[in-house]
Amino acid sequence: MLIPSPELISLDEILPNEPLLMMGAGPVPIPEQVAKANSIVINHLGETMAKIIDQVKQMSRYVFQTQSPWILGVAGPGSAAMEMAVTNLVWQNTRVLSISNGFFSSRLAEMASRVGADVKTLQVEETKIPDLAQIKQILDTFKPEVLTLVQGETSNTVCNKNLAEISQLAHQYDCYVIVDAVCTLSTMPLKMDEWKIDAVITGGQKGLSSIPGVSLIAFSERAYQRMHARPSKCPQWCLDAQLAEQFWHHGSYHYTAPVSGILAIHEALALICKETLESRFARHLRCSLALQRGIEALGLSLYVPEQARLNSVIGINVPEGIEQKALCHHISNQYRVEIAGSFGLNIVRIGQMGEQSRAHHLFRTLHAFGCSIRDLGGQIDLPTGMAELERGLQAGVAQTNN
């Protein structure tokens, strides 16, 4: 007797009739070209794959703005790439300064402490960016060997706008800098070499507009030397950069590569190269600012003041009398637009990463958002909000054409 096969509901029945427009904090919509590539399986060690890997590395160097050859892919979420950066550069008793703005930056601190590092956390005040003088003082006294931080803290929509200064300062102290750019890479400037960053992490499903589960990481030459000289082996076999080098740089076996996901990321990177970083940054800025103006014109307020505000994910204070969960639920069910709540804060978040930053998505999202608040009894000025969005997009177009 076999255990009987289960009775199932078909995917056609499970999936909604009308697909959701994914406007939350990731995953984001993927272009047709990416979806198509993701449906293909090829030999992971053949010649075709070798060509594809070579191009992924070339395109990554452009997107990360680095000359370093040490680009590696990871079969895993953005968090796996974070763990790869941390566990290869940090070990027992390594002094680590972890700049924490919230949920994701504190994950880097947690990962460092799990490999036995001596972690000092600099907790940044909510909705603020880190203070350079305070960092300098810790570099002087604690003498960290590694510093970790995020470029954009997706959870509370804070952007560490002084990332370049922080990284360059740490570099003067010979401290290695690990930057999580999962939500920001290719949506706003990041210059790995010029800013002296030693490891940059990104995931697939946010800024790059690829699929979740395949991620990229870039190490500086200096970081690579540190890894090769480490006193003990990297404790995680799958995430060992020296083993990953076998596949990513010598065409040999480490583990079976996620070929479809790599093909998908190849296409996502190709689209970025075609668009160019300059135009892509301008598009993201134009769309995000127009949406921010539109939201404010509805009569709502944004969570983070402009000096520290992330453009890649917009955090909006939930108006009084409305429940965050009910709002997310309503906009999803009634208008087929998905937005995100947050970890513990009374805000909702609308993403502006990759394919989310398209005018037609913005109009639909702002309209659905305004209608949802109105449906739930809130007071908003929908026509003014929509008009501001339109004006913002037009003004942005005029600016970027100049």
Closest CB to ligand PLP among residues 102, 370: 102
Site for ligand PLP in 149-178 (CB under 6 A): 150, 152, 154
Closer CB to ligand PLP, 239 or 380, in the complex: 239
Helix axes 359-375, 277-298, angle to 10 degrees: 20
Nearest Cα neighbor of 66 from 149, 163, 185, 146 is 185
Q: Would you count residue 77 as binding ligand PLP (CB under 6 A)?
A: yes
The nearest distance, CB 153 to ligand PLP, in angstroms, is 6
Please identify, using beta-carbon distances, which residue of 152 and 315 lies nearer to ligand PLP. Answer: 152
Which span sits near ligand PLP by CB under 6 A: 11-19, 148-156, 160-168, 315-323? 148-156
Task: Answer positive or negative: Cα dihedral of 60, 44, 78, 326.
Answer: positive
* Residues of the chain by 3-state class (helix, strand, coil), percent to 5: 45, 15, 40
Of 21 and 108, CB closest to ligand PLP: 108
Cα–Cα separations (whole angstroms), residue 362 to 25, 119, 284, 292, 366? 15, 41, 12, 10, 6
Residue of the chain from 83, 145, 180, 338 that contacts ligand PLP (CB under 6 A): 180
User: Is 193 in contact with 67 (CB distance < 8 Å)?
Assistant: yes
Specify the residue, 26 or 378, whose C-beta has the smaller distance to ligand PLP: 26
| Residues in the chain, overall count | 402
Angle made by CA atoms 348, 352, 356, in degrees to the nearest 5: 110
Cβ 218 vs Cβ 34: under 8 Å: no
Of 24, 26, 261, 294, the residue at the interface with ligand PLP (CB under 6 A) is 26
| Of 361, 388, 381, 386, residue with least CA distance to 319 | 381
* Interface with ligand PLP (CB under 6 A), residue from 24, 29, 73, 78: 78
202 binds ligand PLP (CB under 6 A): no
CA distance 354 to 363: 16
Using CB under 6 A, count the residues that bind ligand PLP.
Answer: 14
- For the bound state, the minimum distance from the C-beta of residue 154 to ligand PLP, rounded and expressed in Å, comes to 3
Q: Contact between 267 and ligand PLP (CB under 6 A)?
A: no
Q: Among 91, 104, 224, 248, which residue interacts with ligand PLP (rule: CB under 6 A)?
A: 104
CB-CB contact of 349 with 332 (8 Å): no
Taking the C-alpha atoms of residue 150 and residue 222, their distance in angstroms, rounded to an integer, is 20
Q: Does the protein bind ligand PLP through residue 182 (CB under 6 A)? A: yes
If one asks whether residue 87 binds ligand PLP (CB under 6 A), the answer comes out as no
Distances 69 to 74, 191, 239, 313 between C-alpha atoms, Å: 16, 15, 18, 30
Distances (CA, A) of 110 to 90, 135, 283: 12, 19, 35
- Distances 313 to 47, 98, 143 between C-alpha atoms, Å: 39, 22, 33
Kindly tell me which residue out of 24, 102, 144, 203 binds ligand PLP, with binding defined by CB under 6 A: 203
Contact 188, 278 (CB under 8 A): no
Q: Interface with ligand PLP includes 224 (CB under 6 A)?
A: no
Instruction: State the minimum distance, in angstroms, from the CB of residue 302 to ligand PLP.
Output: 18
Binding segment for ligand PLP (CB under 6 A), chosen from 167-175, 180-188, 265-273, 394-402, is 180-188
Q: Indicate the residue among 163 and 393 with the shorter CB distance to ligand PLP.
A: 163
183 binds ligand PLP (CB under 6 A): yes
Q: Of residues 349-368, which lie at the interface with ligand PLP (CB under 6 A)? A: none
- Could you tell me the smallest distance in angstroms from the CB atom of residue 143 to ligand PLP? 27
**Which residues bind to ligand PLP, rule: CB under 6 A?**
26, 77-79, 104, 150, 152, 154, 180, 182-183, 203, 206, 212
